[in-house]
Amino acid sequence: MTAPLRVGIAGLGTVGAGTARVLAAHRDEIARRAGRAIDITAVSARDRDKDRGVDLSAVKWLDDPLALAADPDVDVVAELIGGADGVAKALCEAAIASGKHVVTANKALIAHHGQALATAAEARGVALAFEAAVAGGIPILKGLREGLAANAVSRVYGILNGTCNYILTEMRDTGREFADVLAEAQAEGYAEADPSFDIDGVDAAHKLAILAALAFGTQVDFKSVHAEGIRHVSPVDLAYARELGFGIKLLGIATNNGAGVEQRVHPCMVPLDAPINHVDGVFNAVVAEGDFVDRVQMEGRGAGAGPTASAVVADIIDIARGNMVPGFARPAADLEPPRPVPMSAHKGCYYLRFEVVDKPGVFAGIAQALGRHNVSMESIIQRARDPGEPVPVVMTTHDTLESDMTEAVAAIAALDAVVMTPRIIRIEDL
């Protein structure tokens, strides 16, 4: 009988402990599916006494996670520490150099160093697997790499951050302000104490960079991802969006238009009847568009112990089976250099909201600012208020270049009659 595959886990936090529980709970079935047993032989974590819901008393404990790379009783290192650099990066590099397979859920690590790690792993003849780095339990990387291998993928997009999706859903349904819902998300454990990576779009940008590389066969190019968060989305915007026939989602969108790859993360207005508009709460969804398959959408929980651990264990099972496909669908040396399309070259429709002093000539000034910068209005909503109070104005535009829209908004903001920073949300035809 084939010898068991021996796994060392670095980090026993939410995902690490979840991985240990999955391997223990389904040990026999996993062995049948993998063709061999999978055993945890070593772990590295700070607190040996913490109850993690699984019996690890027979497992070797190592104080230094880097020791897993040199442990002769470990075939696969599961790096579940996190962080783009530091111990996580050093452990993966050392494990690969020692001839050990690496499985990680670390999107920041892969977004920043995936190319170098993949090159090293292929040279050493070991696997670098990172299904759990994008969209938790949704097997989107495997879907792109294997299920859609016969397609030329032109666009991949989705809801890649459950925290932001939860906040936007609650704001829409309750009318509460961003800060109030964020505090609730933190209390419920959906948001970190420092939520910046989530609400400023960085987490989604890491994931989008990985998706784009795998979908288009390019090197990972995180630095070219345009990232905006949801801090400035308000219940007012969500209400106007619904009136106009849209919902608001934080989306990551990567498009290969032939001239290059556009990668962007920002709040989007999407049609109310778009399937992705119905993905609410902490759920994620990813859509891939291929030339033969048309459009495929996968939806599920994008974070948490169970979903993410499920993806980690799936990668370990693949290694146990001997499925050694390149992590980015093609050898690292064959990944094309990035050809980034700048955000300024993006073209689409826009939603604008601002408040103005209700006096003669105001709309003439706004219209002139838009016209000077080649922006054409499609629709406008104006609400009356008491005399002397600022008047809210909402408008949508026809297709416009991002660079033109940026200049037009700056010109409008400089008008004396405009009393708030204009809000802008891009409209997506999905």
Torsion of CA 413, 418, 420, 422, to 10 degrees: -50
Read out DSSP for 278-337?
G--TTEEEEEEEETTTEEEEEEEE-SSHHHHHHHHHHHHHHHHHT----TTSS-GGGSBP
- Nearest 5°: CA angle at 246, between 243 and 248? 115
H/E element, 103: strand 101-104
CB neighbour list of residue 26: distance below 8 Å, 6 or more residues apart = none
Number of H helices, E strands in the chain: 13, 17
Percentage helix, strand, coil for the chain under 3-state DSSP, each rounded to 5: 40, 25, 35
Q: Which of the residues 100, 107, 142, 207 is marked catalytic?
A: 207
Is 359 a residue of the active site?
no
Q: Residue 423: phi, psi to the nearest 5?
A: -95, 135
Active site residues: 207
